[in-house]
Amino acid sequence: MIPPVYITAVGMACPTGLTAPTACAAIRAGIDRRQELPYIDDQGRPIVGSALGQLPFELSAGQRWTRLLAHALRDVASDQPPGLLTRLPIVVAVSNEPGIPTPDRTTVARELGEALGLNLDPRLLDFVHEGSCGAHRALARARAGLLQGQHPACVVAATDSFIDARRLLALSQQQRLLTEDDSDGITPGEGAACVLVAAAPRAPRAVIRGLGFAREPALPTNDQPMRGDGATVAIQMALDEAGLSMDDMDMRLSDASGEGHAFKELALVTTRLLRRRKAEFPGWFVADSLGDVGAAAGLLGVVTAVVAFQRGYAPGRRAVGLATSRDGGRAAIILDAQRS
């Protein structure tokens, strides 16, 4: 088994709140911020989405996710020593969709620093471009550095926004938007999440016991039968790292956001890996409140679980999370509220 790493702080920013406690309380209460956006689809109908009201709609997707990320970073550092963010690596998962420009580290570091009132070193900022799976890749990168003693802690973040004319146009042209005529679609959203991870168990909020990765050959864009092979391999790899089985899990986290194939895949994986009957095995979906938050979905799910562990309303002490990217990437994580 690979040694675990520890989540010592979390941060979150989304339309339901600008801190993890407030956003998760709203999500638990079933609150969402869906509204008609100032955009229309190809049929002339207003597009419904979940947007942070404090951000002007004139901002581009990149400007929106940068500001959301600043809020999440402020949240994760709120109870940490002053200047922590200026000393630690910050690995950020962002969108990998075609046509999305690669963020410039110097520019993003400057914009984040201005928002936070800090002088951030762009050399400590890095990006991962793997969609919703990117945060798990970033966690794996951070874990490797921690276990090798390269740094005492690391900030892993994920951020994305679909509230942008170009991205909404692409969703409309791909017929992926949830409309009155198409129930197999998504509600565009936005959000950011971050976790502070360390190798030493100093007042941890949760433990990352396993990570797993694979590729799924069956995609919505091809005609291969959906068997959940990639997700099964990813989750089994994470379980093996943790020395646990699917039977040991108490809840499932998923970035499924409305399209039927994602829910079918989760059901297939559960059937293939679960060896004994469970009276309850709840699935948690951040999309229920936030819509599709793209690259931020996987880590937002992790943060909601960590807060639930801390507040005592999680259905158990262990969670398995699955993240899926449209290009076939699959990633899994095993979380444990146990601190030892």
Give the tens place of pLDDT for each residue, 22-72. Answer: 999 999 999 989 999 999 988 888 999 999 999 999 999 999 999 999 999
**Following DSSP, what letter does each residue of 193-248 receive, concatenated?**
EEEEEESS-SS-SEEEEEEEEEE-S--TTS------HHHHHHHHHHHHHHT--GGG
Condensed to tens digits (0 to 9), the pLDDT of residues 261-318 reads: 889 999 999 999 999 988 899 999 999 999 999 999 999 999 999 999 999 999 999 9
pLDDT at 186: 93
pLDDT at 1 over 80: no
Please, are residues 247 and 275 in contact by the beta-carbon 8 Å criterion? Answer: yes
- What does the alpha-carbon distance between residue 235 and residue 331 come to, in Å, rounded to a whole number? 7
DSSP β-ladder status, 5-13 and 190-198: antiparallel
Please, are residues 251 and 281 in contact by the beta-carbon 8 Å criterion? Answer: yes
Percent of all residues in the chain with a pLDDT value above 70, rounded to a whole number: 99
Tell me which residue has tokens 């690391």.
154
What number is the average pLDDT over the span 72-100? 93
pLDDT at 254 over 50: yes
- What does the alpha-carbon distance between residue 292 and residue 323 come to, in Å, rounded to a whole number? 12
Reported pTM: 0.95
The number of angstroms, rounded, from the C-alpha of 34 to the middle of its chain's C-alpha atoms is 19
Strand partners, 16: none
pLDDT at 339: 58
Domains of the chain, first to last: 5-198 (3.40.47.10), 206-336 (3.40.47.10)
Decide: helix, strand or coil at residue 107.
helix
What number is the average pLDDT over the span 106-133? 95
Query: Can you give the length of the chain in residues?
Result: 340
pLDDT at 340: 47
Please, are residues 211 and 238 in contact by the beta-carbon 8 Å criterion? Answer: yes
What number is the average pLDDT over the span 186-211? 94
DSSP H or E stretch at residue 127: strand 125-129
What number is the average pLDDT over the span 124-140? 95
pLDDT at 10 over 80: yes
The larger pLDDT score, comparing residue 13 to residue 79, is at 13
pLDDT at 179 over 50: yes
Please, are residues 272 and 30 in contact by the beta-carbon 8 Å criterion? Answer: no
Residue ranges of alpha helices (H) inside the chain are 20-28, 61-76, 105-116, 134-147, 165-173, 229-242, 260-273, 287-290, 297-311
Tell me which residue has tokens 């956006």.
37
Average pLDDT, the chain: 93
* Residue 74, burial from CB neighbour count under 10 angstroms (0-12, 13-18, 19+): buried
pLDDT at 184 over 90: no
